[in-house]
Structure 1
Amino acid sequence: MQAVDDVIEQRLSSEVPLVGQVAHYIIGSGGKRVRPALLLLMCGALGCTDARRHTLAAVVEFIHTATLLHDDVVDESTLRRGRDTANQVFGNAASVLVGDFLYSRAFQMMVDCGDMRIMRVLADATNVIAEGEVLQLMNMHDAHLDEAAYLRVIRAKTAKLFEASARLAALLAGADAATEATCAEYGQAIGAAFQIVDDVLDYAGDTAELGKNLGDDLREGKVTLPVICTLRRCTPTEAALIRSAIETGGSERMDEILTIVRRCGALDEARHHARAEVERATAALQRLPSGDHETKKYRQALLQLATQLLARRS
């Protein structure tokens, strides 16, 4: 990961000072680096030591960071990871344009890797992520959004980059098609689990630990799995209150809504969905080719990564 950070530092350089300022602000704001770590761990599990793995880990972090910059502008967010969002500090225009810089720098770096399959995986993933963001925008304030529509969004906007990170490791390792598909399934599953837990924390977390305001999703009109589960479980009167808040973006009765979500068992139901995704990920790990003692250590780390996602609080 230190090698990845070195690549990130080197490739953030620009003759335009504001570019580096904004990019460093968000990249240095305490992100978990889960996607780069996933790529490196999967490389280790496959016995791959290709030097390009550090560059590609930085690429997926750049793509992820670009989506954060754009998301915060679209969502009009003011707080991320316990700090003012980049758009609050530097303005919307700078955030959008530096997000564009990170996308284009990521594509320059993937071209440097000199592998058309790697380029295709990352280009396809970036396109799917953008489609997922637009789909989420179309679903805003839709109080009747169902679970299938929610899953379609998170598999595109979040799980796709996890999937691509794991798939890239298989490509670097020269793995066969079956192993590549297995790696991709692991990545997609923990990506979905990651987003579901994130959505649970929006109603169950602690603001200080979470680094953002509780209930932000509902204020923005986003219907996530905890809300979908709540609407199936609560009384008609409570459902009417929640649907009204979704449709209007009203937050006047947010404390009451948070109480309903927590009381009716919706968070436990959503966590059950996340657990099922983690089980899918661990089952995929069992199908990876058996390796030596060193590769098994990395496989164990991937197992721990999947299970720790369920326990995270921020």
Structure 2
Amino acid sequence: MASKISVLLYSHNRAEQFRANLELVLAQSYPAEDFEVLAMDDASGDGTWAMLTAIAASGERGNLRILRNSSNLDIGGCRAELYRNISPESSLVLLMDDDVALPPDFLSWAAAYMAANPGVGALGPRVVYHKDPSRPAHYPNFVSPVTGFYSSRGADAATDCDWLIACCVCFRREALAQAGGFDASFVSSHEEVDLCLKIKAAGYRVVYDPERTVTHDIAEKKRKSDRLYYLYRNKFLVIRKNFRLPWNITATLAILFLGFPRYIADSLVQNRGVNAAELRTIVKAVFDGLRGRGGKL
């Protein structure tokens, strides 16, 4: 009997890219009756909702459910809301970004892998750049238990790791449930680190397997104060939520005395001088992270 799968996608103001990759999901070779697709419009203003309603109204996509946010929930909020709406019959959950393209047999591969490896709670494929498929975009990632610093390394075979980039990850539903699901308080940045560490703490494996490849159409992004805020604040939240004494102290001190000066130096280099507003954002991020503040800026 095939595993039931819920595929979760969300998008904000990227209608055409969303449409193209949604079509690839809907065209999977996996039996249509065994997977559902939850597609969310995160308060877009570019016709995303009209596109979704048109696809749903065609009547050809019985396994498609569409959702619309009245206000922008951002990454963490979208993931949490989608997770709350999955079918009770689903045993697997595929989380993916709107800029990821799946090969036709991806769901079949993921379902077979998870069935053959019941101890795996999260499975990630090889991810390459859309514009240059010869270049890996992401690798298996690790977290130092002492400093909290991240590292990654290339892998040509299935590799157990600490966390996976959440642009395309298949989760075992029971592992997600034991980890508490998606934490919207992160808003964006590091949420997948927190989730994967919780899945490992619940006794499951987190595995990167390059046997299957997906493409990620990563766009170059401008520096934005809110993104920097979440990037720096949430590192402290990961430590607070996952590290125990004495390692939560050593990791916090490492980020504070080694990471914080690097954040300041990076701002000076990237802006070719002092950007007072950005520096204030970085200081606030560190302060809020130290006191455990989650939620939107």
**TM-score bracket for this pair, using the shorter chain length:** 0.3 to 0.5
Higher strand share: 2
Higher relative contact order (CA 8 A, sep 6+): 1
Higher helix share: 1
